[in-house]
Structure 1
Amino acid sequence: MRIAVAGGTGGVGRLVVNAVRAVGHEPVVLARSTGVDLIRGSGLDEALTGVPVVIDVSNVSTINRKKSENFFGTATTNLLAAGRRVGVRHHVALSVVGADRVNWGYYAGKRRQEKLVLDGAVPATVLRSTQFYELAAQMLATIPGPIAVVPQMLMQPIAAHEVANCLVDLALADPTGRAPDIAGPQQLRMSDMARRLLRTRGSHRLVLPVRLPGATGRAMAGHGLLPTGPGPRGTQTFDQWLASPAAQNDAGRTR
């Protein structure tokens, strides 16, 4: 079966593409490099013709509410409209645990995406995942200087490849609406993850955790990013991830 992967050239998207191939199906990558523009909607009908299932892991790096809502709203609307026109039978979207409880700009876009998908004409499944282990490396890479100031965040992070496998499993099953949240095997704080990552890579940078202001900061430092019910749980621990090739690939960017 052919399975379309929106955002298939991104970090998570490449893992989903690999997971599709691993179970014997053919991935169809939806990205500008393959002639598809999710925001303009160009190339979608042609790419999705004869494709029964779409997995959407497209993403934008922003904490700006308007930019996030515009991206996820536009991309999702275009994907669903094209899917309806050509007969897509199952639309699977990746979202974030806590998107409905943490008033963060990026999460506003994910809430909009969820509503469009679940209210749309194409049968759908939405999987909320906790943050990926890779977030620690990404955050450190954007913070220059000898002191890394990171937000106080309590999470139950997970290896991205385990989420990719779960998305493919859901895509091959019947649409379920909101699927049970997926999370990692243990609760961790971002500051602890950052320190352990830096130590593993021989860096002497200091990590300073700071609580963000207002209700958003309280939610992130508290339980706002944690799963609230039962669901699939990853098995790879953060320490195991630190020793894996996935962590070593970004080693130079966090020093």
Structure 2
Amino acid sequence: MSSTTFAVAGATGRLGRHVVDVLTERGHQVVPMSRATGVDVITGEGLAEALTGAGAIIDVASWHASDQEAATEFFRTSARNLQEAGREAGVARIAMASIIGVDKATAGFLAAKKVHEEVLLSGPIPVRILRAAQFHEFVGQLLDWQQGDVAYIPALPTQLVACRTVAEELVDLATAPAAPAAPGTPIPEIAGPRRETMAEAARLLGARRGVEVVGVDGSGMPDAEIAAAGGFLPGPHAKLAGPTFQDWLDTQP
């Protein structure tokens, strides 16, 4: 795999930056694909040129908001474009980052990611999927959305994971030798080492920011009942790795 060139969709995003770093550190050739580098996975602008000579695609492009309809359209279009342009360029495989529990999702962003998986898997290029828990960085996003001295955060169970840890596991998956999966083999999952609630993690960050965090039951959120029952927690086959949220927070400026 050392001679393979990896085209990274979403290379300048929260996860994509880490994926590019890990690939580069391991000596792989990287073609970063994002609007900032002149490649648009939705319009297709620059895509054919970026994929010329690429052996594999790592798809970590994401939609910036939680609206299900807009996110679904983004993922459906990007998946089709990557498959079509990848096939024409002779790409051998696609590895994508998804979210733990998408197979159970019925609404919201997770339901959009479910469509992302389905459309990508329906294309001609073989696809490898890694489902990850919510990122540590997501906690700050939740606080940012509320923009006040008090934040109401769902006390729903989670097993937060560091972006860097997800990137390392995704690159491992993308570079592993091709081997047919046995029937019934679960999709690989990566999560952090500690189970907690989103509100508990948010309190740790809120204390730094001077924001009071109040835990709420999450009613009104998409699939809150599934989440409360642990439906979006890692399965028994998941790899648990990386720093806890507290340890990660201690390293942040």
Q: If the length of structure 1 is used for normalisation, what is the TM-score?
A: 0.91
Secondary structure of residue in 1 paired with 2:103: coil
**Aligned mates of 1:152, 1:67 — CA distance in 2:** 27
Q: Which residue of 2 aligns with 1:29?
A: 32
3-state DSSP class of the match of 1:137?
Answer: helix
Would you say 1:170 and 2:178 are equivalent positions? no
Residue aligned with 1:142, SS: helix
Moved over 4 A (4+): 175-178
Alpha-carbon RMSD across the aligned residues, in angstroms, is 1.7
Q: Cα–Cα, structure 1 residues 214 and 163, in superposed 2: closer, same or farther, change >3 Å?
A: closer
C-alpha distance 205-67 of structure 1, shift in aligned 2 (>3 A): same
The CA deviation string for residues 153-181 of structure 1, in whole angstroms up to 9 with x for no partner, is 21111111000011111111135676411
| Alignment correspondent of 2:164 | 161
Does residue 1:236 correspond to 2:243, yes or no?
A: yes
The answer for the alignment partner of 1:130 in structure 2 is 133
Tell me by how many angstroms 1:204 deviates: 4.5
Select the residue among 81, 96, 104 that pairs with 2:107: 104
AA aligned to 2:110 is: Y
Whether the 8 Å CA contact 1:191–1:208 is kept in 2: the answer is yes
Separation in structure 2 between the aligned mates of residue 237 and residue 204 of structure 1, nearest angstrom? 21
Mapped to 2, the partners of 1:34 and 1:109 lie a distance apart of 25
1:115 paired to 2:118? yes
Tell me: CA distance 1:215–1:194, structure 2 relative to 1, closer, same or farther (3 Å): closer
Deviations 1:3-47 (A, max 9, x none): 111000111110100001010112111111211111111211110
Distance in 2 between residues matched to 1:45 and 1:114, nearest whole Å: 22
1:149–1:209 contact (8 Å) kept in structure 2: yes
**Structure 1 stretch 102-111 or stretch 209-218: which is displaced more?**
209-218
Give the superposition deviation at 1:215: 7.5
What does 1:1-255 align with in structure 2 at a 5 Å threshold?
1-175=4-178, 179-199=187-207, 201=208, 203-213=210-220, 216-245=223-252, 248=253
For 1:47 and 1:147, the matched residues in 2 are separated by 45
**Compared CA separation, residues 53 and 214, structure 1 to 2 (3 A):** closer
- For structure 2, the residue ranges without an aligned partner over 5 or more in a row are none
Kindly provide the amino acid, as one letter, of the partner of residue 13 in structure 1: G
Q: In structure 2, how many angstroms separate the alpha carbons of the residues matched to 1:215 and 1:19?
A: 33
Tell which deviates more after alignment, 100-109 or 133-142.
100-109
Amino acid at match of 2:196: L
Q: Closer, same or farther in 2 for the Cα pair 1:32/1:235, shift >3 Å?
A: closer
Matches of 2:25 and 2:125 in 1, distance apart?
26
**Partner Cα separation in structure 2 for residue 31 and residue 206 of structure 1:** 35
Deviations 1:187-229 (A, max 9, x none): 1101100101122x15152423232238811112221111223
SS of the residue corresponding to residue 32 of structure 2 reads strand
SS in 2 for 1:220: helix
The range that moved more, 158-167 or 148-157, is 148-157
* 1:66-88 deviations in Å (ceiling 9; x for gaps): 11110000011101100001100
Question: Identity over aligned residues, as a percent?
Answer: 36
State the 1:89 CA deviation: 0.3
